[in-house]
Structure 1
Amino acid sequence: MTASTPVAFEDPQYREAIVDLLGAIAYGEISAFERLAEDAKLAPTLEDKVAIASMATAEFAHVARLRERLTELGADPFAAMAPFQEPIDRFHEYTAPGDWFEGLIKAYVGDGLANDFYREIAAYLDADTRELVLASLEDSGHAAFAVDRVRSAIAADPRLGGRLALWGRRLMGEALTQAQRVIVDREPLSALLAGGVDRPGIDLAAIGRMFTRITERHTERMAELGLDS
């Protein structure tokens, strides 16, 4: 730690929570890279393949800064990511897309839900960590790409919309369950939301409102895709 280290890090529980959070986000970025690389294999055109591969590269680029920050905090980046490998991999196993369009929606809707969750938590972080987290969650261009491809496909085949709407609802349920498990199972993150040195806390009612906001943003994304939520 240096003289410029935020006062919040005087609380060892806060440091542990930040290591947990950055580890979760870092492994999520690695997972996103892997999934986008797999999605590229399903791409119907060469243009789509290159676009998805470029997005995968952008996701992986976020990992370097997260690893650097974990090292600065005196943590082993790989040890920090390890607790999240199994639950994140399990989520992706349960929500493996069946085709190109399901993959597009999963990356747009599923990753969007996870990012909303981390943005909500970012409100309880010191300024430097909050900036790093928000930068790591920046859209790699997938949002506009997914909306364009899905809307065009539904216009060509309206029947596709019903199936993809159901898929979006399933992703929503699985993602919210995963987020709630993270809060419950990871004691440092639970403590982070409870507040501490120079930081406000969040009560159960506020947690409920947080998940309501995440649900509302999911509804907005589905509408952008031209799908019912």
Structure 2
Amino acid sequence: MAAVTPPASPLSSGDPTYRAGVVDLLGVLGLGELIAFDRMSADSGLAPTLADKAALAAMAVTEFHHFERIRDRLGDLGVSVDEAMTPFRTAYEEFHANTAPSDWLEGLVKAYVGDGIAADFYREVAEAVDPETRELVREVLADSGHSDFVVDRVRQALDDDPRVAGRLALWARRLVGEALAQAQRVAVDREALAALVVGGADGDGLDLAQLGDLFTRLTRNHAERLGRLGLSS
């Protein structure tokens, strides 16, 4: 019996828009992982205890390994990390310039809120791509333990001084506005990536009306995260 030839991946089908969309997805995700590594490394220097410093340093290493996985996948596609990530550098730099934390707790909340919204967005987009790319996205977005770490430290801080809650809640509201604006910018400014969000790999994915539903889900998930922190949305 003749062997059955598996269907071609969209990446090998010659669709330039789809391929460009995948490269954009990997580029923005790779830059996020690289920045997360850099940010966690810096935050470890602000940690109040050596145990916290070691925990953040270990998580930073995990983020860098995630970046390496994306870099290698881009290499398989014949694309350099500079080529894939550079289009998103300005958006990331503006987000971080507009949301510079003033202390250790604000830094923790920023990482939790910003990374959470970004991860939700990329998981949604990944539903529209080929299985190999989707699995890689899910792998690099897997929680390295950072969420539990942040929740534990923030809740302990609230127990120690409940007055901190109001300040951190206001900070979180500012962060979600900036993060959603960044996600919208990424989705709109890059046509190939927008095609994934709007049409999916085979044209049967999200339509324009559903784009609004996506951002509603991002906002709802954000409120649930704040609840875990003990903060109001």
TM-score, length-scaled by structure 2: 0.93
CA deviation vs aligned residue, 1:160-201 (integer Å, no higher than 9, x gap)? 000000011011000000000011111111122232663413
The counterpart of 1:26, out of the listed 24, 27, 30, is 30
The counterpart of 1:78, out of the listed 76, 82, 90, is 82
1:156 pairs with 2:160: yes
CA deviation vs aligned residue, 1:58-111 (integer Å, no higher than 9, x gap)? 111101111111111121222111111121122111111110000111111110
Give me the whole-angstrom Cα distance separating, in 2, the residues matched to 1:4 and 1:100.
50
Q: 2:20, 2:192 within 8 Å by CA — same for their partners in 1?
A: yes
Give me the whole-angstrom Cα distance separating, in 1, the residues matched to 2:71 and 2:7.
20
Question: Match of 1:174?
Answer: 178
Question: Match of 2:148?
Answer: 144
Flag as ranges the 4+ runs of structure 1 deviating above 2 A.
193-199
Q: 1:19, 1:70 within 8 Å by CA — same for their partners in 2?
A: yes
Question: Match of 2:9?
Answer: 6
The counterpart of 1:225, out of the listed 224, 229, 233, is 229
Question: Match of 1:51?
Answer: 55
Q: 1:172, 1:218 within 8 Å by CA — same for their partners in 2?
A: yes
Partner amino acid, structure 1, of 2:163: R
Give me the whole-angstrom Cα distance separating, in 2, the residues matched to 1:61 and 1:4.
31
CA deviation vs aligned residue, 1:22-81 (integer Å, no higher than 9, x gap)? 011001101011111111111111111111111111111101111111111121222111
Gaps of 5+ in 2: 1-5
Question: Match of 1:87?
Answer: 91
Shift of the 196–31 alpha-carbon distance from structure 1 to 2, 3 Å rule, reads: closer
Q: 2:130, 2:201 within 8 Å by CA — same for their partners in 1?
A: no
Gaps of 5+ in 1: none
Q: 2:198, 2:208 within 8 Å by CA — same for their partners in 1?
A: no
TM superposition shift of 1:9: 3.9
Q: 1:194, 1:202 within 8 Å by CA — same for their partners in 2?
A: yes
**Identical counterparts, % of pairs:** 56
Question: Match of 1:69?
Answer: 73
CA deviation vs aligned residue, 1:189-225 (integer Å, no higher than 9, x gap)? 1122232663413222211111111111100100000
The counterpart of 1:198, out of the listed 195, 202, 207, is 202
Question: Match of 2:126?
Answer: 122
Partner amino acid, structure 2, of 1:87: A
Secondary structure, in 3 states, of the residue corresponding to 1:158?
coil
Paired residues in the alignment total: 227
TM-score, length-scaled by structure 1: 0.95
